């Protein structure tokens, strides 16, 4: 799938659709930590992960760009530090010039006004005026993987971001996840339209029927019921 195809398909989806699709595909839902938000609300981001582990110097980002492909997303691992920022306007401008579609930071950014002017989607845990306060030895595999919260990602992963946050999907399963997400989106749109036209969600999912079945079988779950009725809602 080309970067253009990915951007086009994600344009009508949300990260919520993708998360539900991962559940339906029996994949682990890998979300960035709560609070990972876009510097500019309303922006969306998608692309192949380009990992870089920050050790105190921007050279790791510049080196990562030497092997980048247009449409990649720079994923920065600064161990979730909140005492320093690690990406500012110059790196963001360089990333944009290299044809990448955005930056995701497990850590903080600075130069917020300049980043908004550049216009590249940048997601982080927040902003702080000070730059790097530490300089450690760079690990040999600093460009092979990046950890974001509970998850470690590589170039074998894709990353998506919107106003709900950021999540990662294995590139090998992307086509199936996107297909399922589109199906979930279409179902939810139909359900929303029916609600607007007066048919309650309870009626659509036959909630009274579910309650009756659960009365007879306490192990019967709402998700089982939804799957039988081909309703999205929870997955």
Residue 111, C-beta contacts closer than 8 angstroms, at least 6 positions apart: 88, 89, 92
Instruction: Name the residue ranges covered by the structural domains of the chain.
Output: 3-11+32-163, 200-235
What are 112-167's pLDDT values in tens digits? Answer: 999 999 999 999 999 999 999 988 888 889 999 999 999 999 999 999 999 999 99
Nearest to 120 by CA among 53, 52, 62, 38: 38
Q: Compute the distance between CA of residue 187 and CA of residue 97 in angstroms, rounded to an integer.
A: 39
Q: Could you identify the residue written with the tokens 């106003």? A: 163
> What band does 233 get if pLDDT is binned at 50, 70 and 90?
low
- How far apart CA 185 and CA 54 sit, in angstroms, is 37
Q: Take residue 176 and report the two structure tokens written for it.
A: 């199936």
Place of tokens 């990406």: 87
**How many Å apart are CA 69 and CA 176, to the nearest integer?**
23
- Stated pTM of the model: 0.91
Q: Quickly list H helices, the chain.
A: 3-10, 15-24, 59-65, 89-97, 112-118, 174-196, 201-204, 207-216, 222-229
Cα separation, 22 vs 78, whole angstroms: 27
Topology given in CATH for the domain delimited by 3-11+32-163: Glucose Oxidase; domain 1 (3.50.30)
User: Each residue of 86-103: pLDDT tens digit?
Assistant: 999 999 999 999 999 999
For residue 123, give the H/E element and its range: strand 122-124
pLDDT of residue 228 exceeding 80, the answer is no
Give the tens place of pLDDT for each residue, 54-80.
Answer: 999 999 999 999 999 999 999 999 999
CA-closest candidate to residue 207, choices 233, 181, 188, 185? 233
Binning pLDDT at 50, 70 and 90, where does residue 41 land?
Answer: very high
Q: What percent of the chain has pLDDT over 90?
A: 85
The candidate with the shortest Cα–Cα distance to 157, out of 165, 149, 55, 147, is: 147
Say how far apart CA 43 and CA 46 lie, in whole Å.
11
């Amino acid at each position: 799938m080309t970067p253009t195809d990915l951007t086009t398909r994600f344009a009508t989806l949300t990260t919520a659709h993708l998360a539900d699709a991962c559940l339906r595909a029996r994949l682990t839902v890998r979300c960035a930590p709560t609070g990972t938000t876009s510097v500019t609300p309303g922006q969306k981001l998608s692309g192949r992960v380009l990992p870089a582990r920050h050790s105190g110097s921007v050279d790791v980002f510049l080196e990562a760009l030497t092997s980048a492909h247009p449409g990649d997303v720079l994923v920065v691992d600064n161990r979730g530090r909140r005492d320093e920022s690690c990406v500012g306007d110059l790196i963001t401008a360089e990333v944009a010039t290299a044809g990448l579609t955005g930056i995701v930071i497990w850590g903080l950014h600075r130069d917020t006004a300049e980043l908004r002017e550049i216009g590249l989607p940048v997601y982080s845990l927040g902003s702080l005026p000070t730059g790097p306060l530490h300089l450690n030895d760079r690990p040999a595999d600093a460009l092979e993987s990046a950890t974001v919260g509970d998850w470690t990602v590589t170039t074998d992963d894709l990353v998506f971001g919107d106003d709900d946050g950021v999540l990662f999907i294995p590139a090998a399963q992307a086509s199936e996840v996107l297909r399922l997400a589109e199906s979930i989106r279409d179902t939810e749109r139909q359900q929303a339209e029916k609600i607007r036209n007066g048919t309650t969600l309870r009626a659509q999912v036959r909630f009274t029927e579910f309650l009756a079945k659960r009365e007879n079988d306490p192990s019967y779950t709402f998700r089982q019921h939804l799957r039988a009725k081909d309703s999205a809602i929870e997955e």
